[in-house]
A and B are shown apart, each in its own frame.
Chain A
């Protein structure tokens, strides 16, 4: 099974966020750049499944050169190839369009994405790609294995409220992978150094014929959430704080 994994580099924390005059993105200083958490789980699941079924894994991302290190980490984890779309996009549907265009040029049986990015927090890109490519899809997937029938996979997905659903999907398909109980592995330093020497292909939106669409949203403002409804902060040393909190607890018990 050949697998494509879509990942995103996200800031560990941000400083000085602002909206540029173009209103199509956010500007900020990123404290650090890391792979989005559920994408890391997606990558792990993808590599494992591809190996088990004798296929290859390609790890993709959409972003400027500065995010390339998450692809190198993917190669360090044994992805067979990496591809970067050289575009800095905010709007989920634009990101999905770019990734769908790149995916269309690959040979694949399964596309895996994470469930939601920690920066834009839209949970839209994965499912949008599936619909653009006409693929069956499943969201919040926690397990993937080859299906009993040919050209299928068997997935387990969360339905919420303590329920899960097991489904069989025809391939090719797309699943959005959820964080789970199997933690992503660490890459040994030596392997990481070797991975950094591997070539990473990059494509522009023009090459993919995926740019030039008008925006569907404009970002007007960015701000800290309103103070209303904020907790009453209890100051003092731990003993004083504990005594004040316990009084508040006893009031309602």
Chain B
């Protein structure tokens, strides 16, 4: 296969998300190999600043879809935008993040285009004439290699943080505004309100050390032990999604793409298996220590140091050392 490549940019709070640069980097190397164009699609209501930075990001073409209706994120309008841009630009390959955005509109766009989508990919490459991806299965304990054989364009969603974010040689990309018909009278969903999590003053994003609890700690009665470890290292208490879901800790402590992304100097993952949504939000930490009884837990693949063992023996020993 060979053809033009389209990257779907992501932004929030007036900043382009890192996944955008990761996708552009991957797209650039494939487009260079194929001798084809790399375009980036950016959707929103005020795009001027994004267009300026995307123009020199290494892409050949910036395709802004700008409309007052797009002030807040509406999945119906986004799906329409990506569908119509694909129809007009005719890419062979569309790259997006395995993020809330990619999970919500990727499959809808693929079905509408009658094309093939493979999600949750860690690697993407070409073998012979085929597009090949590597993706996780079974909770991330195994991976599969998949060859795409269905209808194009191929829609691929890539896990955030697994592709390098290289600085690419700047090109003076062209900007082409495409006309999109949103048919707003036929909208079937309305945004009523946008809510922000009440953190109650806790800010785990500022901590230098995070002692983070996963389901593997066994129960809420073990939280004080983790708290003691955090305190001994002058750090803060964090947790994975199941721990917050089960009410063992408030959501303000939750690390994951649904809650907070953290980059402390030291991240100590205690009984956290390492779901991709968790790893994506802590993998850029300075030093990652994982303690887990399962040697196959995916967390050991991003950790710098690991202890395979019983938390209830290891953590008290750590607290003792930290206080020494």
Query: Which residues in A have some Cβ–Cβ distance to B below 8 Å?
Result: 11, 13-14, 17, 19, 26, 92-93, 96, 115-116, 118-128, 130-132, 136-140, 154, 156, 158-170, 173, 178-181, 183, 214-225, 229-234, 238-239, 241-246, 248-249, 251-253
Q: Is the CB of B302 within 8 A of A229?
A: yes
Q: Which of B104, B257, B265, B321 lies in contact with A243, CB distance below 8 A?
A: B321
Instruction: Write out the residue numbers on chain A whose beta carbons fall within 8 Å of the beta carbon of B244.
Output: 181
Q: Is the CB of A14 within 8 A of B138?
A: yes
In the assembled complex, how far is the CB of residue B45 from the closest CB belonging to chain A, in whole angstroms?
16
Q: Which of A139, A218, A232, A251 lies in contact with B146, CB distance below 8 A?
A: A218
Instruction: Given the known inter-chain contacts A121-B137, A128-B108, A242-B318, please indicate yes or no for A216 contacting B150, CB distance below 8 A.
Output: yes
Q: Is the CB of A132 within 8 A of B322?
A: no
Report whether over half of chain A's contact residues are helix, strand or loop; otherwise say mixed: mixed
Q: A233: nearest residue on chain B (CB-CB)?
A: B306
Complex CA–CA separation, A92 to B108 (angstroms)? 12
4 closest pairs, A vs B, by CB?
A216-B150, A231-B306, A242-B317, A136-B188
Q: Is the CB of A124 within 8 A of B117?
A: yes
Q: Is the CB of A11 within 8 A of B100?
A: no
In the assembled complex, how far is the CB of residue A237 from the closest CB belonging to chain B, in whole angstroms?
9
In the assembled complex, how far is the CB of residue A11 from the closest CB belonging to chain B, in whole angstroms?
7
Q: Is the CB of A183 within 8 A of B246?
A: yes
Instruction: Given the known inter-chain contacts A121-B120, A223-B142, A253-B208, please indicate yes or no for A170 contacting B100, CB distance below 8 A.
Output: no
Complex CA–CA separation, A169 to B192 (angstroms)? 10
Contact of B68 with A by CB under 8 A: no
Complex CA–CA separation, A17 to B117 (angstroms)? 24
Q: Is the CB of B75 within 8 A of A137?
A: yes
Contact of B258 with A by CB under 8 A: yes
Q: Is the CB of A118 within 8 A of B258?
A: no
Contact of B143 with A by CB under 8 A: yes
Contact of B266 with A by CB under 8 A: yes
Q: Is the CB of B289 within 8 A of A248?
A: yes
Identify which of B1-9, B166-174, B176-184, B307-315 touches chain A: B307-315
Instruction: Write out the residue numbers on chain B whose beta carbons fall within 8 Å of the beta carbon of A252.
Output: 265-266, 286-287
Q: A180: nearest residue on chain B (CB-CB)?
A: B245
